[in-house]
Amino acid sequence: MSDVLEDENEFGFAGVYAVELKYRQKPKLDREALYRKMELYTGKIGHPEQSGEEVPGLAVWEPNEAGEADQENLLHFFHLNYMLSYAEGELPAQTSLMPMDNRPASDYETAIQQSWHWQEAAQTVSECSHSLLLVDMMASGLEPQARLRLFSGALRAVLESAPCNAIYFRESDKLVEPGTYLAEVEEGALLFGAMNIRFYNVEGTGSGRPEGLMDSLGLAALGIPDVQCHFYDLEPSEVAGQLTDIAYYLFNQGDVIADGETVGFSEEMRWRCEHQLALAAPRRVVIDMDPGEPYYAGRQGSST
């Protein structure tokens, strides 16, 4: 494994994971519904007056001195089913929900350009004038699967108690339609929002052949290499399918593909794997997929 994998900044890891919820109208947060849903998806809530031996899975902090407008949406959750050990002792992973200044549609230009899955993304975001921010804290030490499971549960709870019009995943630079997201997560597609499969037409290389670059964005933020393929003459939809399959494999199994190992998608084609720095921003570690001759368009230098 390359030394670059040991450098958190080079890897692209997110110490704090963040998602923006965008609204056409000012959100009305149903706290009772939120607490109920948060219990359902992340663990049973604990109340100060609770007695008995049952161990709560969730505790909530609400500000007592903030202004009324701030109190409306500022909440902090302690997820006691997701404990982490530190030198000072055990601490629970946490999520926090808060208001944020609404950002204009122009701030999401790169996400809109890659919104192949949601054609109405640009129009919807341009119509939004209010936003909430959901972040995790003290959660980066969790295994990637547990961290995303916790965050997805918290996000699902917020979406079902204060439905929004658009969701923006900062780490994957992806805009998703809330109803579609909930349906995908319900079916087990945990990476639907957390990972973005991006496609770029490559021009000006003088090859005279259709050339493309496709990659995933979002896995490195969780501590797993993203994947990329720089190719000639392949059908982008087929490459997207292959990268998605490999990304889910890595998410479920971890960074288990060694440099030089080949992955077989068919008897005719085996793709060679190598850890590299990504060709497309942001800077992060990816596993470069080489589909072999005559399809491989070349790597821009190796990190190994």
- Give the per-residue pLDDT at 50: 43
Of 40-49, 122-131, 248-257, the poorest mean pLDDT is in 40-49
Q: How far is CA 127 from CA 103, 105, 153, 182, in A?
A: 11, 9, 27, 21
- Is the pLDDT confidence value at 80 over 80? yes
- The closest alpha carbon to 78, from 55, 100, 52, 53, belongs to 55
Q: What is the pTM of this model?
A: 0.88
Confidence band of 2 (pLDDT split at 50, 70, 90): very low
B/e letters for 241-265, b = 16+ CB within 10 Å, e = fewer, are ebbbebbbebbeeebebebeeebee
Contacts by 208-215, CB closer than 8 A, 24 or more apart: 209/233, 211/297, 212/236, 212/239, 212/297, 213/279, 213/280, 213/297, 214/239, 214/240, 214/243, 215/243, 215/278, 215/279, 215/280, 215/286
Place of tokens 């204009």: 104
Q: What is the C-alpha to C-alpha distance for residues 229 and 201, in angstroms, rounded to an integer?
A: 12
Give the bridge partners for 232, in sequence order: 211
pLDDT at 44: 74
Taking the C-alpha atoms of residue 22 and residue 129, their distance in angstroms, rounded to an integer, is 7
Tell me how far apart the alpha carbons of residues 59 and 63 are, in angstroms, rounded to a whole number.
14
Task: Give residue for tokens 């490195």.
Answer: 220
Mean pLDDT comparison of 41-45, 64-68, 100-104, highest-scoring range: 100-104
The SS3 assignment for 82 reads strand
User: Both tokens of residue 151?
Assistant: 């965050």
Bridge-based pairing of strands 262-264 and 270-277 is antiparallel
| pLDDT above 70 for 29 | yes
pLDDT exceeds cutoff 70 at 250: yes
Question: Tokens 């390359």 label which residue?
Answer: 2
Average pLDDT over residues 246-272: 88
pLDDT value for 293: 85
pLDDT higher at 86 or 178: 178
**Owner of token pair 């900062």:** 170
User: Where are any strands of DSSP class E within 46-100?
Assistant: 58-61, 75-86, 89-100
Q: 155, 18 in Cβ contact below 8 A?
A: no
φ, ψ of residue 265 to 5 degrees: the values are -100, -20
Phi, psi of 285 (to 5 degrees): -85, 135
SS3 220: helix
Give residues with Cβ within 8 angstroms of 171, minimum separation 6.
14, 17, 18, 194, 217, 218, 221, 222
Mapping DSSP to helix (H, G, I), strand (E, B) and coil, where does residue 208 land? coil
Q: Which two tokens stand for residue 113?
A: 């350009």
The confidence score (pLDDT) of residue 46 equals: 53
pLDDT-derived band at 66 (thresholds 50, 70, 90) equals very low
Q: Is the pLDDT of residue 86 over 60?
A: yes
